[in-house]
Structure 1
């Protein structure tokens, strides 16, 4: 199993939970970690400061393209950041659990 983490952010808890629930139902991810944080960024020529909910999704590399496309479709942001982070090492037990959830 080649595990990856996918990171994105949402404008609020409602959208983060709604999208995450759909990804879990489609078995595109095995779990998610959601955390609120302050975000500072450029938007339309101005520096903005907002609260966002960051989502860390754990999945397998073969799910990447479908997960990315599904996130693009469901995401409330006009230009969402969807980043894939390849995991170099992962404990065997967790990797086996991921395989059972995603492919079992």
Structure 2
């Protein structure tokens, strides 16, 4: 199994939890870490500062396409961030746990 991390953001904790929980329930991701943070970005000619929730999703490379499609379908942002991070090394025990969780 080839593990990947996928990073995305959500406008609030409730949205993040709802979408991430569904991804876990459907076996698309093994688990996720959610963390509230500040976002600073340009919008309509001005710099905005807002709070959002970052999500680090843990899954396997074979689930990447399905994960992207589901996030695009469910996400409230017009252009959600979908950043795939290929994992070079991870402990064997964690990989074995992910295999069981993801089937």
Which TM-score tier does this pair reach, normalised by the shorter chain? over 0.9
What aligned pairs does 1:16-95 form with structure 2 within 5 A after superposition? 16-95=16-95
Show CA shifts across 1:72-98 (max 9, x none). 000011111111000000100000100
The alignment partner of 1:18 has SS state of helix
Give the TM-score, by structure 2 length.
Answer: 0.97
In structure 1, runs of 5+ residues without a counterpart are none
Deviation of the 1:45 alpha carbon: 2.3
Q: CA deviation at 1:100?
A: 0.7
Q: 4+ runs of 1 displaced by more than 6 Å?
A: none
TM-score with structure 1 length normalisation?
0.96
In the alignment, the residues of structure 2 paired with residue 19 and residue 44 of structure 1 have an alpha-carbon distance, to the nearest angstrom, of: 28
Deviates more, 1:42-51 or 1:70-79: 42-51
SS at match of 1:67: helix
- Give the Cα separation in 2 of the matches to 1:2 and 1:57: 14
How far apart, in 2, do the equivalents of 1:43 and 1:29 lie?
A: 31
How many residue pairs get aligned? The number is: 103
